[in-house]
Structures are given as C-alpha cells and as structure tokens.
Structure 1
Amino acid sequence: MTASSTRHPASDPSIAVAQVAIVTGASRGIGAAIARRLARGGYAVVVNYAGKAAEARAVVQAIESAGGQALAVQADVSDAAAVRALFDQAIEAFGRVDVLVNNAGIMPPALPHLADTDDATFERLFAVNVRGTFNTLREAAARLQHGGRIVNFSSSVIGLALPGYAVYAATKSAVETFTHIMAKELRGKNIRINAVAPGPTATDLFLNGKTPETVERLSKMAPLERLGTPGDIAAAVAFLVSEDAGWVNGQTLRANGGVV
C-alpha cells in the first residue's frame, strides 16, 4: 500500500477535517470527477486506485491546489486485506470515514455474448465489480461514522439489456441487490446507502474498443442526444451524499439522460 501525501490531519491540529470520503477507482474518469466534486464540497478525499499511481497523484494535486485535502491510497478492492488497509490508512490520515463511493469497476473492451464469454473474463468481472463492492461494504458497515453515506455503482445496461452485456449487467444487478438489502441491514446506524446507474458516459472505460460509428449511435440513444459526462455522474453522487437526499435510502438512481 502506498499513500501520496505525508500530511496526517488526524495528528496535526492545524489541519481541520470536516467529513471524509473514500472514492474507489478515483484515478481517472468518473471516479476522479467524483473526488474533485466532493473536495469542492469540503470533504477530505481518499483517492483510491489499483495501478495508476501517477494519475491518482495528479487528482490529489489538483484537489490540494484548489485548497482541498486528499490522499492517494493504492488498493485492489477485490482483495479483502487491501480494503481493510485502505480504511486503516483513511482513518490514520483523517481520523474518520463518513462517505464511501464504490466507483471501482471494470468493463472489458470486448463484450461477447454470454455463450462466448470465457471463464477468465467472467471471474475477473465478478471479482472486481461484485467482490470488490462486497469487500468495501463489509468494511464500511463496521467503520463508517454514524450518519454515514454509501453510494454504489450500478449501470443502466441492466434496463437496456443490450446483447453482449449479460455478464457485466449481472455484476451490476448484484450491486443493486446489495444496495437494497443492506439499507435495511444498517437499521440503527443512520447510514444511508444508494446506488447510481449511469448510462453511456464518455469515459475511457466506455469508449475503449468502440468504433466512432458505435459511439455516435450510442450518443443518440438518450432523448437528450449526447453521452453523459463524468461531471454529470459526479453531480448525482454529490446529491446522494448530501442532506438534500436525507430521505433517499436503498434506491438506485438512473443517471442516463432518459435512455431507459
């Protein structure tokens, strides 16, 4: 495990910390946009990444340059021990964790039909998208502050039911089930948990392997006739962790421009 910052607000009384958010998969794309958005809202942000250390450090530097507080922490969310260490480092640095955003996830560039999906692809998708979310949720249940918030990531492909997305959509269906049931299991802790389900969004993860014609076709699917942006999704997450969403719990918000 590595951390990009040597400042430890929990042990430095000159550094005031209000609330603390862990954002998984935050080195680029939607995760980076969420990290920056929450930092602008006053959160100290733990920028989790799996392998892109330089990009994670750049997100931290951008947040700190704007006057915010951030820390980059490497952890593979599919590894339970790594997730425990992620929370350990967050609490060591900032003294608490109030918000968990489960953004980390993978989508392979090739999306074969279910019958043509190999074992390695199936197992990797479930390891990161499902086990990774399970690992962080289990840790959050024990370590989030009373009144904490959790935002999981589903996908609007569940509703679209596009050929080739069967296994990927299955992983996100599991995440939605986690969300709906865990909201009830957290009774008494005043922790809200919701999910956001983006539609086609202009990120490297989404665009990878798609032809310009495919991208153009997908951009016209929504009535608003464009792809979503990372900022669109970050805004939805910011709402779900805010007091304005104080009565929203156990729900999935489809942020997709009306595509489904």
Structure 2
Amino acid sequence: MERFKAFWENFKQNKAGLVGLFLLMVLVFCALFAPMLAPYDPTLQDAKMRLVVPFFVEGGSGAHWLGTDDLGRDILSRLLYGARISLTIGVVAVGIAVFFGVIFGLVAGYFGGLIDMLTMRFMDLMLSLPSILLIIIVVAILGPSLTNAMLAIGIVGVPGFARIVRASVLAEKQKEYTQASKLNGSSHGRLMFVVILPNCTAPLVVQATMGFAGAVLEAAGLSFLGLGAQPPSPEWGAMLMDALQFITTSPWTLVFPGCMIFLTVMGFNLVGDAIMDALDPKRS
C-alpha cells in the first residue's frame, strides 16, 4: 500500500498522465455501459435515415446526435459499442504477448547459454520483420477475422516483452536475495516465478500500457484493410473503411471513428509515459 501511495503521488504530478487517465476512464465507462448509453442498436439499418448529418450541423437531426452512416446506422451507438471491441482487442492481444513474452524471457534469462541464444535469436528474427507485415502474414494464413487479428497482434508483440523480461531477469538473478534463495534450496520454478519475476513487473507494466495503444491502432489498421473485424461489427477501423468513399460528401462518418482511435491511442501513450516516470528509481 505504501508503494502504491508513493507511485500515485509521483503519477499525479504528471498532468499529461492525468489527461490520459481521464480519457481511458471515459473509454472504459463507454464500453461498460454501452447498452444503456447507446440510443440505437449499432447494427440497425434504416434506409430512410441514410447519411443524416450531426445535430450541430445545419439540417442535422436531434434523433442522431453524431449522424448516421451510408446504411442509416447511428454513428454514436456504433462508437460506443466500438469501445468494447477496442478494449477487448487490447486485453486479449496484450495478454497473449505478456504471457508468452514472460515465459520466453524468463526461461532465456534464467538458464542462459544455448537456451538463451536460441530463444533470443528467434525473437530477433521476428523483430527483423516489420510488425504490420508480420501481422498481415499471420492473418492471411489464419483468415480475416477479429479473433485472428487479436491473435496475430499478440504473437507479434511477444518479442518486445521477452526482451524486457530477459534483461530484468539477468539483472535480478545476480542480486543477493536471489543467491540467498538459491542457497536455501529453492527450485528453479520458485526462483523464476516467485523470487525473480515479481521484481520485473515495473517495466512490464509500462510496456503493457504502450502495447494497448499499439494493439488498438494495429487492429484498426487491419480492419481498415478488411483483414480484421468483419461487417457489420462496429469496430472503429472497419467504420473508417466503410466511410472512406464518403470523405468529401459526408466527412463526419470518417472523422468521428478516427477521433476515437486517436484519443484512445493518445490516452494509453500518455498513461504509459506517466507510469514510466512515476516508477523511475532516479526520481526524487
């Protein structure tokens, strides 16, 4: 509890981090209460209400605050339900990356030698390819869907976490508390998961927060290319793809989902930077 209080005292001094935290809290609120906040079913089509302009534009309809898309679907409702999809993407993709990244990094850093060399050269091989290209390759093999997109994003994120964990393990296993536990007869499993791993969590938290932003952005990119969420899913990237043809005639169909992606990614990045500063041991 004392460590958390110290962390919070450092975190709240970062104004940008507080802005990011507020944005994420709004996102979580929208995702949790989307069924109560959304005025319409996000997949409900109404040809008579096609491309209705937002209420703040002349001729706008009060029934659709942010207007409608080319199929007459309420954009506000789709944005709210899209928040659920974005959070799900972040949790699943980052969860996959953290789980396998921790396993590979922990084993490589702890045992060293040939195991370390083979594991990290494989991670380097994955890092040598552009991440979006590797994601597209995995999705192309598995087939276009939101589930496969999350799996691909998670797989591509593994090397980053593995390298961070390995570096932390190499430092922690040389410290006195680790050596003392080893002399007391602790097993390899206990040394890795009970003694060393809890002391490697600080960089993992920072990387995971940044990973959320990357996962949301990459998933939106895949959906925009038609490789992620499939119609009629109200995913923000898919909404951008559907609205691209109306960029000159009905720009609001493009602007609102684009703004949601921007604000979400910015929120995670701001919070990640603030967490990194708050956990900095050199901070006075």
Which of the two has greater helix per residue?
Answer: 2
Greater RCO (CA < 8 Å, at least 6 residues apart): 2
TM-score normalised per structure 2: 0.21
Structure whose alpha-carbon radius of gyration is higher: 2
Which of the two has greater strand per residue?
Answer: 1
TM-score normalised per structure 1: 0.23
